[in-house]
Chain A
């Protein structure tokens, strides 16, 4: 049973560019959450998707957007990249109304 998978593993972009990160949830899970983790800090909640809709959102600007597909996989898009967007981006999947979240290995984004 595959766990949560994310792609790519690493990514290097320059300021102003746009990036798309991808996440496939654990088999059977229907909810996907995205987190940003800056170096040396704890993860910060970006948003959560269920039934292809954004259900909750953290304190992130509109440059951060997402999508969930009918197969429950999800994308995170970040426009107009800033140096401060450099971080590890973590995807977590769960079952709706269940508390435990399963995390993927993350995508490390570096913005130059």
Chain B
């Protein structure tokens, strides 16, 4: 079963606009990560936010985390055609086991940036 649910499932915007997508999850987490996937290939790690952090920036990306609401958002500012991809949130459980944390992914948001 999937931990996170992204909203919306699909998003179409014009180049230069901002894109915002949300992720909700169900259980306590150690951290939440956002990944990008182009054309059904490998995932690229974008940003990690820990459970004790509320906001994090990386270039044109801004991630927020609200652990009381069990939700996160990813904002891509000044979008480009190259940002067209699927975006996934993934959570790592709060209990760290012997060898790292497995990631539990949501269903993803498919973003289309039109030139």
Contact = CB atoms under 8 A, between A and B. Distances in A.
A51 B48 CA distance: 25
Nearest to A91: B42
Contact of A98 (B97, B100, B107): B100
Interface string B81-109: 00000001010100011111111111110
A31 interface: yes
Contacts of B92: 99
A106 B96 CA distance: 26
A33 interface: yes
A103 B38 CA distance: 13
A101 B103 CA distance: 9
Nearest to B50: A99
Contact of B40 (A51, A88, A95, A96): A88
A48 B108 contact: no
A103 B44 contact: yes
B48 A90 contact: no
A100 B101 CA distance: 9
Interface size class of B (residues with CB under 8 A): 20 to 34
A88 B40 CA distance: 8
A106 B41 contact: yes
Contacts of B101: 99
A99 B97 contact: no
B28 interface: no
Contact of B105 (A43, A98, A100): A43
A105 B41 contact: yes
A33 B102 contact: yes
Contacts of B88: 42-43
B97 A55 contact: yes
Given A33-B100, A42-B90, A96-B99, 6 more contacts: A31-B99, A42-B106, A44-B105, A98-B100, A103-B43, A105-B42
